[in-house]
Amino acid sequence: MLPVVALVGRPNVGKSTLFNVMTGSRDALVADLPGVTRDRHYGVCRRGERPFVVIDTGGLSGVEIDDLSIAAARQVRLAIAESAAVVFMVDARDGLMPQDRSILDELRRCGKPLLLAVNKTDGLDVATALAEFAALGASHVLPIAASHSRGLDDLLQVLAEWLPPDSADAAAVEDPDAIRVAMVGRPNVGKSTLVNRLLGEERLVVSETAGTTRDSIRVPLERDGQRYVLVDTAGVRRRARVDDGLEKLSVIKTLGTLEQVEVAVLLLDAGEGITDQDLTLIGHVLASGRALVIAANKWDGMDSYARTQCKSGLERRLDFVPWAQVVFISGLHGSGLRELMRAVRRAHASATTELVASSLTRTLEQAVTAYQPPLVRGHMPKLRFAHPGGHAPPSIIIHGSRTAHLAPAYRKYLENFFRRRYKLVGTPVRIDFRDGE
């Protein structure tokens, strides 16, 4: 599981700004999608040596934190209890406020490694700004300017020392030919039923690998000659619920799980249609860069009218992920599972396609020949060559000039051209442009 870092502080000290900077790089995949709901409370920071979950506790409570002991702060407390380290933010421009002291007192009681981040030091004399907060007696203090990304590297370095050592070896020693899959979805959409069905049919032994921090369960599965590992599948360990409150923090778990897989199957309840919570989960999958298959479950209980309604609803609300395959299944009866696993294999194949520079460049030339980019102030943007930019998601870097002026519709056209050419289905594809002579 990913370690957790909580951002704590009074309103307006800059928590959400720092949160955005820390989680920002991948969120770019999600930011411009009108259909998707972004989760502003939880994100994954991938900018340091190893990824971790960041929680903006200000976003969590939704109310002003006058005092961490008020009832609305329960969520915040849970978040802190889950975290490996806490970043306590103060505002250098406001100076030390009484509220800062009370929050800090509370934080000290929970005994987590604590970093005091003195924010908004841009344009200030740093020594003076820090001096004011010396009275708090914090052992680790850093001046930062979140809105300028200043101090971020130092902050990440301190945190890196506090985070527990990487325990992702389970994935490393595992069967390299297996596709790692996670079933994600709201409670009660049928994740456990589906997993048990998949396992039951294949009569497989459930093996538990004890994780170091939290129980991380990985189940091997073989179907139609393909091996899979189901990661952290809720249902296997049937409701060994810890605490109801923690259920709400299951998003932390989902984020950690997504790190360990190649493909996420988002399960939704077809009878209920797609909910905002489903869309938020899709947002997390997109931000993780993982391949995505959408499974509309409980298809068995629906008449043809309801099925038509559901299909058109899904089409409408999922138009921001036109590349994701939607399958209609019944985990209970086992229908559609072959199609589901086929979609998983296809998404995996797309996500792991080895793109080659020469071929990408040829494809780019064909795309441009077929349809030239529209002129920008009388000049044509030039697209010269392309090369692969990395995996998860597959990314393509296109070099040219005036690319900043390429219309979104043209970018979309290029993406679709590459998708068709390389049969990329079920995975986000990232296209970045670089200008240079």
Q: Was 9 annotated as part of a binding site?
A: yes
Count the residues of the shown chain that bind ligand GDP, applying the rule CB under 6 A.
33
Given 164, 245, 301, 322, the residue binding ligand GDP (CB under 6 A): 301
Output the smallest distance, CB 337 to ligand GDP, in A. 10
Site string for ligand GDP, 183-222 (x = CB under 6 A): --x-xxxxxxx-----------------------------
**Cα–Cα distance, 89 to 73 (Å, whole number):** 17
426 near ligand GDP, rule: CB under 6 A = no
Residues 6+ apart with CB under 8 A from 293: 263, 264, 265, 266, 324, 325, 327, 340, 343, 344, 347, 426
- Give the Cα separation of 308 and 221 in Å (integer): 33
Residue from the set 4, 5, 6, 13 that interacts with ligand GDP by CB under 6 A: 13
CA 92 to chain CA mean position, Å: 31
Tell me if 386 is assigned to a ligand binding site.
no
- Residue closer to ligand GDP, measured from CB, 104 or 406: 104
Query: Which residue in 413, 355, 354, 356 sits closest to 383, CA to CA?
Result: 413
- The residue nearest ligand GDP at its CB is 190
Residue 16 is a binding residue for ligand GDP (CB under 6 A): yes
Answer for which of 300, 309, 311, 388 binds ligand GDP (CB under 6 A) is: 300
Nearer to ligand GDP, 91 or 415 (CB): 91
Taking the C-alpha atoms of residue 341 and residue 337, their distance in angstroms, rounded to an integer, is 6
Site string for ligand GDP, 230-249 (x = CB under 6 A): ----xx--------------
CB half-sphere exposure, 332, CA atoms < 13 A:
10
The reply to whether 120 sits in an annotated binding site is: yes
CB of 117 to ligand GDP, least distance (A): 10
- Of the pair 199, 414, the CB lying nearest ligand GDP is at 199
Annotated binding residue 408: no
Q: Tokens 């809720």 identify what position?
A: 234
> What backbone torsions phi and psi does residue 372 show, to the nearest 5 degrees?
-75, 150
Q: Quick one: which segment of 9-17, 24-32, 64-72, 408-416 binds ligand GDP (CB under 6 A)?
A: 9-17
Structure-token match 């597959």, residue found? 394
- State the Cα–Cα distance between residues 266 and 318, nearest whole angstrom: 12
54 is a contact residue toward ligand GDP (CB under 6 A)? no
Tell me how far apart the alpha carbons of residues 160 and 182 are, in angstroms, rounded to a whole number: 27
Q: What is the DSSP string of 151-173?
A: THHHHHHHHHHHSPPP-THHHHH
**Could you tell me which residues are beta bridge partners of residue 383?**
400
| Residue 363 interacts with ligand GDP (CB under 6 A): yes or no | no
Q: Determine contact, residues 118/92, Cβ cutoff 8 Å.
A: yes
Residues in region 67-106 near ligand GDP by CB under 6 A: none
Measured from the CB atom, the residue of 95 and 187 that comes closer to ligand GDP is 187
Q: Is 336 in the site for ligand GDP (CB under 6 A)?
A: no
331 among annotated binding-site residues: no
- Select the span of 118-126, 161-169, 342-350, 353-361 touching ligand GDP (CB under 6 A): 118-126
248 has binding-site annotation: no
| Single residue of 11, 24, 35, 211 touching ligand GDP by CB under 6 A | 11
Is residue 145 within the footprint of ligand GDP (CB under 6 A)?
yes
Give 5-24 as a DSSP string. EEEE-STTSSHHHHHHHHHH
Please name which of 344, 353, 380, 391 lies closest in space to residue 179, comparing C-alpha atoms: 344
Distance CA 22, CA 102 (A): 26
Provide the token pair at 35: 């259909």
Annotated binding site for GTP: 9-16, 56-60, 119-122, 185-192, 232-236, 297-300
For ligand GDP, the binding residues (CB under 6 A) are 9, 11-17, 58, 119-120, 122, 145-148, 185, 187-193, 234-235, 297-298, 300-301, 330-332
Residues belonging to the binding site are 9-16, 56-60, 119-122, 185-192, 232-236, 297-300
